Structure 1
Amino acid sequence: MEFELRLPDVGEGIAEGEIVRWLVSEGDRVAEDDLLVEVLTDKANVEIPSPVSGTVSRIVAQPGQVVKVGEVMAVLEVVAPSKTPAAPPDRGEALAVPAVRKLARDLGVELSSVRGTGQGGRVTERDVRAAAGRGPGRPGKPAPETAPGTPRPDEERIPFRGKRRMAARKMSLSKSTIPHALLVDEADVTSLLGMREALRGIGETEGVRITVLPLILKAVAAALERHPAMNATLDEERGEIVRYRRYDIGIAVDAEDGLVVPVLRNARGKSVVELAREMERLAEGARSGKLGAADFSGSTFTVTSIGSIGGLFSYPIINVPEAAILAAHKIVTRP
């Protein structure tokens, strides 16, 4: 019997995903829950497990192809079920992908109490956030397909896909829907540098490197509490401005295959050392591709640090659907 493997609803308003690579080949035998394919969504890379045991008879969606939720990615020949009566299913175990399970743990939601609305009754990120009293994110517009071209001898054509295409789509959406206004200013950070030196010894004891950025995040979280209009998003569908009493700050990370923005939760309630440790975890996980979709969703404000690039100033692009973004530049000595 044939089984069509379709792109499941992984939550957080994801409408489509791009096939990154297949972890199996046609003709391979797979067991239930074996990982089959790596898919890139707006949020992160997700590995899709097999819901059945069988043989991969045909791979439909090739690497680089964008697949919408519900579309067929592959066809499996299902192993005939045994005639031995199966044990009754454990009703206490909910169906959910690892990223959704992690989100449930982070939000204190008991998965077995959540009614799944995904394919086959799977619990999605939207279900978990609804159970926790937090609204799901909104899907972006689908990315346009680019027609392949024939390279000339004097040019090089690089496939425009993966995180590079996802980032370009979000940046285009931001510039076309959010009126950007740039404010450039300077601040005397002499005291900040002194504080960093004082904390370095504590950081060494705790096994974490103290840089200027966690100190900036601490200041940003305090400023957002005083100016809640900056810690907000626009819900266009309901015609409402949403101001948050949480301070989940996106941190722009330059990964090998593109810019990503993992989210540092509860920045207001963390110490400088805790911020530095969490930044290290997020940056390392983003560059190694080990973060889940939940690590990239729900930010209320974004900070990007481009001091290492140099230059006088830059014009950062707001992370949709947030209200603002802060770019921290290089520290220089003034006479």
Structure 2
Amino acid sequence: MPFDFKLPDLGEGITEAELRKWLVKEGDTVREHQPVAEVETDKAVVEVPSPRGGRVGRLARREGETVEVGATLFTIEEEGEAPPERPKSVGIVGELPEAEEEREIIATPLVRKLARERGIDLATVRGSGPRGSITPDDLQRISPSSAPQPTESFSPVKLVPLRGVRRAVARNVMASQRNTAFVTGMEEADITELWELRRRELGAVEARGAHLTFLPFFIKAVQHALQQHPYLNATIDDAAETIIIKRHYHFGIAVETPDGLMVPVIRDVDRKSIIELAAEIQELGSKARKRTISLDELKGSTFTLTNYGHFGGVFATPIINWPDVAILGFGRIGERPWIHKGQIAIRRILPLSLTFDHRVTDGADAAQFLLKVVAYLEDPALLFIEST
């Protein structure tokens, strides 16, 4: 009998995925564990393997559709198995001509109204909602060009579906805003010495195959400061009213990709050298931009860093990567007049912005943490003296 292959549980609480690309077509023969589809979740693009071998029957979903976990993707027929046939209709005058099978159209009055306005026959639309119901998104995918363009009083506007990474970002930031009592504190660091250190060692590090940015130094400074301010390396269990302080240091690193912001996680940063961190940042950043990164590489952070200064920002109010309780943002490094050893000098100044959950710790602790980070960045030798 044909086997209905349903979208499996992808973990991490994911309830749906967008069917990005079919890797097979109807009639193809597939092997067990052969990738058959490429789906995009809230976090990554993953290949879905076939649970058994056989011939691909009906593809139940189209590319671009959103599929719920547990919904049928396609059917698999055993080799040599004939496609199921309906018995012919027989009446008192003999065999009757076969009528086309009618499909139940499930759609809300709003969807039916939109379909009429756009001239779309609902019988031609495969719904992606519960029990195959047709949603407004289904209409947009079927005929976006025929949809009337909403206009402001002065000009037309463009409709951009919220999909993939962009949708994940939207959900995550809203979850953070709902679930945290966020406050942002700011500081500045004179990183002239760190600037010179990086410049001196750049060639030696690149000769070993890694590109040395400031981010590995930022990571090390934060790691050392967190060891003295552990409430910022934590999560909070609201149901149990318990703060869970982490004794490991897994840092999420915000990476801008063509599809939107992603946050790969570097694990055990306290056990890695500056060069090892530089190499891992480079590898994970490349995977994120190519959308080859795995779900495991995007989860489990205990603290998050974002280097928006690379794109020109100075100060900001970074949004916490919930369920973390803090995120530190680094702004654009600029040359500024600065008091150095009692004299006015032109120094390289780094802006820092720390957003933290006020339920977990207070402003005094956050301010002291920031000053500790500043101390490590202004005197990078401390990073090596205190490293284990």
Does TM, scored on the shorter chain, surpass 0.5?
yes
Supply the AA of the counterpart residue of 2:48.
I
Out of 27-36 and 253-262, give the one that drifted further. 27-36
Supply the AA of the counterpart residue of 1:46.
V
Q: Which residue of 1 aligns with 2:316?
A: 314
CA 1:151–1:304 in structure 2 vs 1: closer, same or farther (change >3 Å)? farther
Supply the AA of the counterpart residue of 1:318.
I
Q: Which residue of 2 aligns with 1:328?
A: 330
Q: Percent identity?
A: 42
Q: Which residue of 2 aligns with 1:24?
A: 24
| 8 Å Cα contact 2:233-2:245 kept in structure 1 | yes
Structure 2 distance, partners of 1:280, 1:219, is 19
Structure 1 distance, partners of 2:148, 2:26, is 31
How far apart are residue 61 of structure 1 and its match?
3.1
Summarize the alignment of residues 263-278 of structure 1 with structure 2, pairs less than 5 Å apart. 263-278=265-280
Supply the AA of the counterpart residue of 1:14.
I
CA 1:238–1:37 in structure 2 vs 1: closer, same or farther (change >3 Å)? farther
Give 3-state SS (helix, strand or coil) of 2:43's partner.
coil
Supply the AA of the counterpart residue of 1:326.
L
Q: Which residue of 2 aligns with 1:65?
A: 65
Match of 2:263 among 261, 264, 273: 261
Structure 2 distance, partners of 1:65, 1:171, is 24
How far apart are residue 249 of structure 1 and its match?
0.3
Query: Normalized against structure 2, the TM-score is what?
Result: 0.66
Is 1:152 the equivalent of 2:136? no
CA 1:166–1:146 in structure 2 vs 1: closer, same or farther (change >3 Å)? farther
| 8 Å Cα contact 1:310-1:329 kept in structure 2 | yes
| 8 Å Cα contact 1:19-1:38 kept in structure 2 | yes
| 8 Å Cα contact 2:42-2:167 kept in structure 1 | no
Spell out, residue by residue over 1:112-140, the C-alpha distance to the aligned partner (whole angstroms, 9 max, x if none). Answer: xxxxxxxxxxxxxxxxxxxxxxxxxxxxx
Spell out, residue by residue over 1:133-165, the C-alpha distance to the aligned partner (whole angstroms, 9 max, x if none). Answer: xxxxxxxxxxxx864562428332222211111
Structure 2 distance, partners of 1:282, 1:74, is 33
Query: Normalized against structure 1, the TM-score is what?
Result: 0.76
How far apart are residue 28 of structure 1 and its match?
2.4
Supply the AA of the counterpart residue of 1:329.
G
How far apart are residue 237 of structure 1 and its match?
3.8
Give 3-state SS (helix, strand or coil) of 1:291's partner.
coil
Out of 11-20 and 284-293, give the one that drifted further. 11-20
Structure 2 distance, partners of 1:146, 1:197, is 55
CA 1:151–1:296 in structure 2 vs 1: closer, same or farther (change >3 Å)? farther
Structure 1 distance, partners of 2:300, 2:313, is 31
Unaligned ranges ≥5, structure 1 = 82-144
Q: Which residue of 1 aligns with 2:382?
A: none
Supply the AA of the counterpart residue of 1:43.
K
Out of 15-24 and 270-279, give the one that drifted further. 15-24
Give 3-state SS (helix, strand or coil) of 1:55's partner.
strand
CA 1:41–1:235 in structure 2 vs 1: closer, same or farther (change >3 Å)? farther
Structure 2 distance, partners of 1:78, 1:184, is 64
How far apart are residue 64 of structure 1 and its match?
3.6
Q: Which residue of 1 aligns with 2:196?
A: 194
How far apart are residue 207 of structure 1 and its match?
1.5
Out of 155-164 and 7-16, give the one that drifted further. 7-16
Q: Which residue of 1 aligns with 2:290?
A: 288
Unaligned ranges ≥5, structure 2 = 82-134, 141-146, 151-155, 338-388
| 8 Å Cα contact 1:20-1:162 kept in structure 2 | no
| 8 Å Cα contact 2:169-2:261 kept in structure 1 | yes
How far apart are residue 255 of structure 1 and its match?
1.0
Spell out, residue by residue over 1:67-96, the C-alpha distance to the aligned partner (whole angstroms, 9 max, x if none). Answer: 333222222223369xxxxxxxxxxxxxxx
Give 3-state SS (helix, strand or coil) of 1:165's partner.
helix
Q: What is the aligned-residue RMSD (CA, Å)?
A: 2.0
Is 1:209 the equivalent of 2:211? yes
Match of 1:241 among 236, 243, 249: 243
Structure 2 distance, partners of 1:45, 1:244, is 29
Out of 221-230 and 65-74, give the one that drifted further. 65-74
Q: Which residue of 2 aligns with 1:166?
A: 168
CA 1:282–1:62 in structure 2 vs 1: closer, same or farther (change >3 Å)? same
Spell out, residue by residue over 1:202-244, the C-alpha distance to the aligned partner (whole angstroms, 9 max, x if none). Answer: 3022111111111111111111111111111122343322111
Kindly tell me the number of residue pairs found equivalent between the two proteins: 272
Out of 1-10 and 241-250, give the one that drifted further. 1-10
Structure 2 distance, partners of 1:324, 1:294, is 21
Supply the AA of the counterpart residue of 1:205.
A
Decide which structure has the larger Cα Rg and report it: 2
Structure 1 distance, partners of 2:78, 2:171, is 38
CA 1:2–1:236 in structure 2 vs 1: closer, same or farther (change >3 Å)? farther
Summarize the alignment of residues 85-96 of structure 1 with structure 2, pairs less than 5 Å apart. none
Supply the AA of the counterpart residue of 2:275.
V
Structure 1 distance, partners of 2:136, 2:215, is 38
| 8 Å Cα contact 1:8-1:70 kept in structure 2 | yes
| 8 Å Cα contact 2:264-2:288 kept in structure 1 | yes
Structure 2 distance, partners of 1:69, 1:295, is 21
Structure 1 distance, partners of 2:14, 2:66, is 12
| 8 Å Cα contact 2:19-2:62 kept in structure 1 | yes
